[in-house]
A and B are shown apart, each in its own frame.
Chain A
Amino acid sequence: EAGVTQSPTHLIKTRGQQATLRCSPISGHTSVYWYQQALGLGLQFLLWYDEGEERNRGNFPPRFSGRQFPNYSSELNVNALELEDSALYLCASSKRGTGQRYTFGSGTRLTVV
């Protein structure tokens, strides 16, 4: 069984640009979660998508947005990039009825210069 896959692995952007990160959940998983892991700040919850709808959002500005597609894959968009957005962005997925048992991908390392 393929795990959660994220692309790209690394992304370098200039301040003010937009970044798009992609995530494919495990087959059969309908929920996708996005987390930011910045140095010194730990893992911070960004967004939760389930069945194509945004279900919950963390304490991040609106320039962090995303969507979930009919095949349950997801993308995270970060507009007007700031230097502080440099971090590892992790995607996780879970299956309905399994509670908080998430499987994480290996992440996308976003560097804003």
Chain B
Amino acid sequence: QKEVEQDPGPLSVPEGAIVSLNCTYSNSAFQYFMWYRQYSRKGPELLMYTYSSGNKEDGRFTAQVDKSSKYISLFIRDSQPSDSATYLCAMSINAGGTSYGKLTFGQGTILTVHP
């Protein structure tokens, strides 16, 4: 079983739709949770960074973490064609204030927003 599971999609939605992207994880030691966006032929770009259960909002994006269920989500409101990309969840352990430097990524979900 992979430590982080993410539905690879692909996911196709019309412009203006609300998009929900999800990841589940098995390692309860994960404390930091991130969402990255990766356009074709580019490196991943950090979208959201959270370290506690609950919601975090940034513009059209909302990240949700439920540590009790080991489940994280990213919601995109009013989706735009420019949101078409691969979305990757990532998680890390931070023990005693020392970072292990390692992010564990999901497989990525391919999102297409069509006009």
Contact = CB atoms under 8 A, between A and B. Distances in A.
B42 A103 contact: no
Given A42-B108, A106-B41, A56 B46 contact: no
A43 B90 CA distance: 10
B49 A100 contact: yes
Given A101-B49, A102-B46, A104-B43, A31 B101 contact: yes
B94 A100 contact: yes
Interface residues of B, number: 25
Nearest to A96: B99
B45 A104 contact: yes
A92 B43 CA distance: 9
A65 to B, nearest CB: 16
B92 A100 contact: yes
B43 A4 contact: yes
Given A100-B94, A101-B49, A56 B101 contact: yes
Interface of B: 32, 34, 36, 41-46, 49, 51, 88, 90, 92, 94, 99-108
